[in-house]
Amino acid sequence: MESDRYADLTSGVQIHVGLLGRMSISRAGRPLTLPASRKLRALIAYLALAPHALTRERLCELLWDIPNDPRGELRWCLSKARCLLDEPARSRVRTDKDTVRLDLTDCYVDVTDINRWMQQGLPTLGTERLRALSGIFGGDFLEGLQIERSPDFQSWLNAQRRRLRACHAAILEHLVARLATGSQESFSCLDKWLQLVPFDLRVHELVLQALTHRGRLREGEEHLAATVRAFELEGLDSVPLRKAWRDAKTRAAGHSGPEHTLLCAAGATLPASESDASSSGARRASIVIMPFLDRSAPSGARGGIADALAFDIITRLAKLRSLFVIAQGTAFALDQRNIGPEEAARTLNVDYLVSGSLRRQAKRLIVNVELVESRTARIVWADFFDYSLDDTFLALNEMGDRIVASIDTEVEMAERNRAILKPPSSLDAWGAHHRGLWHMYRFNRGDNELAMQFFKTALRLDPTFSRAYAGLSFTHWQNAFQGWGEEHQREIDLAFETAGQSVFVDDRDPAAHWAMGRALWLRGERDQSLTELQRTIDLSPNFALGHYTLGFVNCQSGDAKAAIDSSDHSRRLSPFDPLLFGMLAVRAIALVRLGRFDEAADWSLMAVARPHAHAHILAIAAQCLALAGRVEEARNLVSTLHKLQPSYSIDGFVAAFRLSADTEALFRKAAERIGIA
């Protein structure tokens, strides 16, 4: 049974730390009396959730704003914390030189428990587990605790409260989805959800559905009217609410008996102008980038570097054209109304949220960024960036590059993983496209064929989907490059034709020009290929695959040093890219052309070690090893290569690439030495 599988995690745990509601600590089930010091409670909470040890200097900066001895105050708090948490045979307050941490691995901390289940993924949890998680929320995070003269801690506290409210809302949303529509428990969960995020469109839609399901149309009208007024007072769009009410009544009329149908017909009608604002084209994942918090600025101050960084990320993401990006004005307006990032994401009904903070420390700028899936409150990606402030504009530019490329990669991966779990018959164009990407990036003939079919499905559902054409072009490119297709020239022609359709549909999509650049290379039109690939970079400097493919073309017969620069830049932008093996192999080929064989061998081995490295990558590595004099290692790789593809030959390798004459001669000599006939 699920209740047995998810036994109470607090049973048998000696120390229980409660951070939801008013802070509490209990030992063996008996609550301990906490000292009155607010800063002691703040210190324990902060250390309990810190991912690593913190310096005493950082803790003093965080909590103490006094002219005398903050380290003395810290020592007093740590001694009191030891009284609460340590045992004779178990030290939990750990100090090492100038750092402090809490080791609570054998304790139960309610927020840590919440975090663990959230990262596992709410869709995977059963009803009983969702009920149990909802029950943990006995109040706000550190309820009643305020430390006004510690702005950095207060910012952290507010962020934690917003995040945990979003977690609770996400848990309630998934729990409501498991409960019977209109049940008493369902209404109770909806009420809690409304209190947490009163401007979340989804909860209002479900309330209206539940009321119509129970035939409580008058209450539905009253709820709609009150909600519309509240939305309009905040300057928010109320049209989706009216549409939700219209749809709820239509569904109720269509699925109920005559009496219920008459009740629905008696409800107030909406003006004709409140029409459905449906949009054409494939759905794209949506994202909002909220203003970053400047922890070094005076409390309440806005503008400056923090806002500039958020605006830069919005602009660069929009240029990628793979996501629906909420405009800066909307995101910043919600922030100015004191609507936190998590609630803003639910208000806007977007799929993903990016938020962050920055602070200046000496001559360095430290930025923390989080990408969150808004409907599950799951942290998809988080990172921090530490740059010198000697050149602020250069630091912001490099940070913007890395953040945007990471967001693009992580969202695409999350969407691919989501699509692969859905039945193929239930996929829309967006889902079919990402299911195609999942297969495409496995780099084998069978998956390439499946990818082709999913891209065709996406285009059947939406003939104006530029990225699906680009994906389809890549599958034909793979057939030609890998020698998988029965008609080589036909595959080249199809790669070019579908790339042209991608450009025609959206001339500003960097992926479209990327597909065209690859197709032109296949046709032997190197100069035109480089021009098209440069267009990709001009459209979006953060498009990692554009930089990689520029390197791919140049490493074979162009500027070898430029190829290395392109390879390095693509890896900086997308360090976990599905095509990372290709980025590494590009560098290896370029190093061969520069006569740096030992380096080429090392880089080629890194390429082989990446997931889904195909036969050509193994061949490149084997030949680089041979050129470096590492013949035995090379022959071992050739043995692996021939097991993977028994008929692999040097003629096939040379036919796949567009190598300069001297580079071809080098690879043929290496192949002969290690038995690639």
Neighbour count for residue 97 (Cβ, 10 Å): 7
Residue 67 has what pLDDT?
A: 64
Segment 10-24 shows an average pLDDT of 84
Phi/psi for 502 (5° steps) reads -65, -45
- Confidence check: pLDDT of 303 > 70: no
What is the rounded average pLDDT for all residues in the chain? 89
What does the pLDDT look like over 242-296, one tens digit per residue? 888 888 888 877 654 443 433 333 333 333 333 333 333 457 899 999 999 887 7
Residue 12 has what pLDDT?
A: 58
Residue 165 has what pLDDT?
A: 94
Give the Cα separation of 385 and 105 in Å (integer): 28
**Weakest-pLDDT range from 221-225, 247-251, 468-472:** 247-251
Give the Cα separation of 312 and 309 in Å (integer): 5
Q: Which long-range contacts (CB under 8 A, 24 or more apart) does 522-530 make?
A: 522/477, 522/480, 522/481, 522/492, 522/495, 522/496, 523/492, 523/496, 524/658, 526/553, 526/557, 526/558, 526/658, 529/553, 530/554, 530/558
- Per-residue pLDDT band for 532 (boundaries 50, 70, 90) equals very high
Residue 277 has what pLDDT?
A: 33
Give the Cα separation of 364 and 395 in Å (integer): 10
Residue 260 has what pLDDT?
A: 40
- Per-residue pLDDT band for 5 (boundaries 50, 70, 90) equals very low
Q: Residues of the chain with pLDDT > 90: what percent?
A: 69
| Angle formed at CA 658 by CA 657 and CA 664, multiple of 5 degrees | 85
Phi/psi for 50 (5° steps) reads -70, 135
Residue 333 has what pLDDT?
A: 86
Give the Cα separation of 33 and 445 in Å (integer): 66
Q: What is the DSSP string of 301-331?
A: ---HHHHHHHHHHHHHHHHH-SSEEPPHHHH
What does the pLDDT look like over 112-161, one tens digit per residue? 999 999 988 898 899 999 999 999 999 999 999 988 778 888 888 988 99
Residue 257 has what pLDDT?
A: 44
Q: Residues of the chain with pLDDT > 70: what percent?
A: 92
Give the Cα separation of 340 and 163 in Å (integer): 9
Residue 664 has what pLDDT?
A: 96
**Weakest-pLDDT range from 217-226, 227-236, 341-350:** 227-236
- Confidence check: pLDDT of 677 > 90: no
Residue 268 has what pLDDT?
A: 33
Query: Which H helix or E strand runs over 381?
Result: strand 378-388
Segment 44-68 shows an average pLDDT of 87
- Per-residue pLDDT band for 443 (boundaries 50, 70, 90) equals very high
**Weakest-pLDDT range from 98-107, 250-259, 525-534, 607-616:** 250-259
Yes or no: say if 220 and 267 are a contact pair by the CB < 8 Å rule.
yes
